[in-house]
A and B are shown apart, each in its own frame.
Chain A
Amino acid sequence: MTNTIADIEESDVILVTGSNTTENHPVLSTFMKRAVLQGKKLYLIDPRRVKLADHAEKWLRPMPGTDIAWINGLMNVIISEGLQDQKFIDDRCENFEATKAVVEKYTPEHVEKLTGIPADDLRQVARDFANAGAGTICYCMGITQHTCGTDNVKSLANLSMLCGHLGKPGGGVNPLRGQNNVQGACDMGGLPNVLTAYQPVTSDDAREGYEKAWQVKGMSPTPGLVATEMFNKAYEGEMKSLFIIGENPMVSDPDLNHAKKALNNLEFLVVQDIFETETTAMADVVLPSYCWAEKNGTFTNSERRVQRVRRAVEPPEGPKRDWEILCDIANRMGYGFSYEDSHELFKEISAVTPSYRGITWERIDEVGIHWPCPDTEHPGTPILHTMQFTRGKGMFHAIEHVPPAELPDDRYPFILTTGRVLYHYHTGTMTMRTDGLNMLSPECFVEISDADATRLGIGDGEMVNVCSRRGRIKAKLQVSDKAVEGTIFIPFHFANAAANKLTNAELDPTAKIPEFKVCAINIEAAKA
């Protein structure tokens, strides 16, 4: 997030898109809902009528996979009515003219045809967002999990820059991180192209610094593969070995039949986890580790705040710390890594990570600090880009709408979109151990509109077969006013009716994120 969570309550207009916030970030949604209580305006732009719609000034419903079109449409209205923050654009941004030229044809009427959003609704949101003293954009996987995910995000950045809503309290472009330490895993260089704090692996200086700090030689200058590519390479036989930590791709990956063949193809699979999962079942070696409540360390939250994690219970006999296991393997391979505890590791992290340099465990003992924090006197940076953007000028990107990789046809007439429910988390490895959560959300369901259910002649609670070009699952139909005709939602938590057997593994070319939010499916009544 460019801004803080608390900052959301300071916004005059909150634009939420591709986020079922009350279910996936319940506590963060309280900031949005309280802002509405204080008279601020919230607009929800989402294919489903999720709970947040109850709190919204208006819910705008785009066809899944048409985000660039409505964002360009908002910009079209703002520019044609002269509501843009021209000073911000002139002083702090570049490439505006090219973007302006592209959005020219995205008139509200044209956008209505592409997205289904009524032209006047689009105008209303555009005017309110542009006229707001501070307007924030909060988005989640509904924006990113598309073959055009990167362009969707860039479009939101365009919109925010256009209105001058960046670099100030109550503004910003704010991705909501879905897992406790996604931010930290990225910051720590758990990505194929960057070291810690996003230093590129292609930089000789950066690698040299690390080789010196770590006393190793021969680090690779070639960016590696993202997870989905590793699976493809395994499928093709080029990838021979994978080491998977705390993740269950056999439920969370797209096109699971493909993923399964990929893992089966490996010569050697190591999985490190706290429970047996669908993925550990395929491993050559399974390594048990400590869980969250047994660890000392840090997580970095969605707003870039580095916070302490503390051991609350003593670990059971047998498992080890995740980092300790890796150290032990490294040392068996001839290295001499040695750390007394997690704290010593954090000191090394601070030393090699510019944005974490000023953060110490002592400083974050009571309250976490937002990176970048370059030195120990620095208070941290709650709001990014206040004076200038990281790259200097904010770059406008001229982006055209492109349709999703797979659209409905006669054989697969429905659009499937996937996500989570309030009571479960990802593949359920943790939440499904709490009976109460299972009672409140016991099984998979196929969320459908009343109109579609009626047309199919299948009633609420009846079992249906759902199939796509890639797979088939069986689950209970749930007629819901969250669903809009033509679009089906299935949560991906449940291994026994895994939505990801259906999803499409087509990737965004830049971020390599799969298109979980749109694929084509068919639904039929299941025979008893």
Chain B
Amino acid sequence: MDTNIITLNENQLTFEPGETILDVAARNNIEIPTLCHLKHTIPTNTCRVCLVEIAGKDELVESCVTKAEPGMVIQSESPKVVAARKEILAAMLATGNHNCAIRDLPTEDWTAFQLNVLAADGKQDLCPVWGDCDLQDLTYRYQVKATGMPVTACKHETERANPFIIRDFSRCILCGKCIKACREIQVNNAIEFGYHGEEMKIIAGDDAHLKDSDCVFCGECVQVCPVGALIPDREFRDDRFKPTKVTRTTCSYCGVGCQMDVFVQDNKIVKIDGADQDLPPNNASLCVKGRYGFDFVASPNRLTTPLIKKDGKQVPATWDEALDLVAEKFEAIGKEHGADAMGLLTSARVTNEDNYMAMKFTRGVLKTNNIDHCARL
């Protein structure tokens, strides 16, 4: 008997000992839905959405914590699995301000519910992650209805007391993915589960505001949140249906060289996320500067015209005037004082191509080796 093979939805798949059913499925591009699983962290079967049915077993099992075993025959979309999954999703929908029109309440209740949520949000819009929410996607996919379930009010107020992250507990499904990101990926240990039962909440420190906790605003939790509980404190979400261009690039701050995806609308950066979870060097992580420190790009104070000092005052000039003057001065100083009376400081901030040209200019044109940059400072 060939040992390390499982059958998942009629596919024969090999596995490495120790791999979970979810791992094997993911590796073979078979999607088993999950809301709490986060790659590179310890699975916790908190959301229970990844249930599967194993032939010969009465109980459904969570595929994120169940190890593949030789000969297992598994269904991830059987009627029994789908029914259980719908129930789990319905329960999640029923316990929060999920006002994305899928709540499926009777009309009069829906209106009251919606008005309550809008009042809580202080906005006239639907949920701020409408269209970008894993819970919403799954609810549509499985046509979940939370019919007959009572509307429950959230006991915890939304936190807006910091410049970068809104924590909307009314939309939190307590999947714990943010805690994994904080404690196992970034290891900042700022947040954890607090309180019990209906009071349960993701807390920072002693249930403090993020800014008064160990949080360092890396935003990893926002990036992994599957719902609208953690959202960037920016107007971006209001414009989420505008055309968005995403560009993969390298961060411009420290020397780690994090790979990032820059989201641009109307030629303005609106969001930056870490790139793929398996792409070195950062595996999708970023820090506060890389993720949020991009306002300088669109700053109205950017230099846009050359300046020339005339009578002790810098005045705008054309490129021709400025560059002619520079060329003229360099030629004159070189002639009068020699090439070594000139020097150039290139920059650890600009590209290799820019640095190379600075080097070529200094050595090939000015004819001096007086070139250095800010590496030592």
Partner-B contacts on A (CB < 8 A): 4-6, 22, 24-28, 30, 33-34, 36-37, 55, 144-145, 176-193, 195-196, 201, 210-211, 214, 216, 218-220, 222-228, 230, 238-247, 249, 252-253, 267-268, 270, 273-276, 280-281, 283-289, 291-295, 297-303, 305-314, 316-323, 325-330, 332-333, 335, 337, 342, 345-346, 348-349, 366-368, 422-425, 429-431, 433-437, 439-440, 511-514, 516
Contact of A275 (CB < 8 Å), options: B299, B358, B359: B299
Q: Any chain A CB within 8 A of the CB of B314?
A: yes
The contact string, 1 if C-beta is below 8 Å from chain A, for chain B 300-340, is: 01111111110000100101001111110111010001011
When chains A and B are docked, how far (Å) is the Cα of A279 from the Cα of B277?
40
A280 near B281 with CB under 8 A, answer no
A-B contact pairs, 18 of them (CB 8 A): A176-B254, A179-B375, A188-B355, A192-B372, A220-B340, A243-B342, A268-B330, A270-B326, A274-B303, A283-B314, A295-B350, A300-B257, A327-B361, A329-B365, A330-B361, A333-B330, A425-B253, A425-B293
Q: Any chain A CB within 8 A of the CB of B248?
A: yes
A513 near B163 with CB under 8 A, answer no
Spot the interface stretch: B109-117, B151-159, B184-192, B195-203.
B184-192
Contact of B281 (CB < 8 Å), options: A291, A295, A301: A301
When chains A and B are docked, how far (Å) is the Cα of A225 from the Cα of B324?
27
B372 near A226 with CB under 8 A, answer yes
When chains A and B are docked, how far (Å) is the Cα of A365 from the Cα of B9?
36
B255 near A178 with CB under 8 A, answer yes
Q: Any chain A CB within 8 A of the CB of B12?
A: no
Chain A residues whose CB sits within 8 angstroms of the CB of B211 once the complex forms: 440
When chains A and B are docked, how far (Å) is the Cα of A434 from the Cα of B354?
26
* The 3 nearest A-B residue pairs measured at CB: A301-B257, A177-B255, A436-B163
Given contacts A191-B372, A244-B345, A329-B361, whether A184 and B308 have CB atoms under 8 Å apart is no
When chains A and B are docked, how far (Å) is the Cα of A119 from the Cα of B235?
56
Chain B residues whose CB sits within 8 angstroms of the CB of A308 once the complex forms: 248-250
Q: Any chain A CB within 8 A of the CB of B7?
A: no
Chain A residues whose CB sits within 8 angstroms of the CB of B374 once the complex forms: 179, 227, 247, 249, 252
Spot the interface stretch: B73-81, B131-139, B223-231, B284-292.
B284-292
A440 near B217 with CB under 8 A, answer yes
Contact of B282 (CB < 8 Å), options: A22, A27, A293, A310: A27
Report the minimum CB–CB distance from A24 to chain B (whole Å): 6
Report the minimum CB–CB distance from A1 to chain B (whole Å): 9
Chain A residues whose CB sits within 8 angstroms of the CB of B287 once the complex forms: 26-27, 422
B348 near A310 with CB under 8 A, answer no
Report the minimum CB–CB distance from B260 to chain A (whole Å): 9
A184 near B355 with CB under 8 A, answer yes
B288 near A437 with CB under 8 A, answer yes
Chain A residues whose CB sits within 8 angstroms of the CB of B309 once the complex forms: 283-285
Contact of B375 (CB < 8 Å), options: A36, A185, A224: A185
Chain B residues whose CB sits within 8 angstroms of the CB of A270 once the complex forms: 326
Spot the interface stretch: B30-38, B45-53, B100-108, B263-271.
B263-271
A179 near B164 with CB under 8 A, answer no
Chain A residues whose CB sits within 8 angstroms of the CB of B71 once the complex forms: none
Knowing that A30-B186, A422-B216, A431-B289 touch, tell me 15 more A-B residue pairs with CB under 8 angstroms.
A181-B351, A222-B340, A245-B347, A245-B354, A253-B377, A274-B296, A287-B326, A288-B306, A291-B252, A297-B352, A300-B257, A301-B255, A303-B257, A328-B323, A423-B289
Interface centre among B258, B267, B305, B344 (most CB of A within 10 A): B344
